[in-house]
Amino acid sequence: MTTVYVRLAIDRLSAGNYLSILLKGTEPHRNVAAAIRALGHDILRDETLDEQAARYRLLVRKSAANTSASAPSA
């Protein structure tokens, strides 16, 4: 579900804008990072905030090539 929320947040951004994402757990971190890369956006920073508690922060820049990533193709 986390990946869906992140995708919606990225879709609302204009190309070139940034999104900071806080994640808890290694699985959400891995899945969200993979989804962002698959969509063609840039992960500028991938920080481990607390290794024991598995807390992470991603800084993402929306790619100009994916401004209509959520729009279905005809």
Q: What is this structure's pTM?
A: 0.82
For the segment 1-27, what is each residue's pLDDT rounded down to a tens digit?
799 999 999 999 999 999 999 999 999
DSSP lists the bridge partners of residue 41 as none
**Helix or strand run (H / E) with residue 49:** strand 42-50
| Residues 56/22, Cβ–Cβ less than 8 Å | yes
Domains of the chain: 2-65 (3.30.110.40)
| Interval 19-73: pLDDT, tens | 999 999 999 999 999 999 999 999 999 999 999 999 999 999 999 875 554 444 4
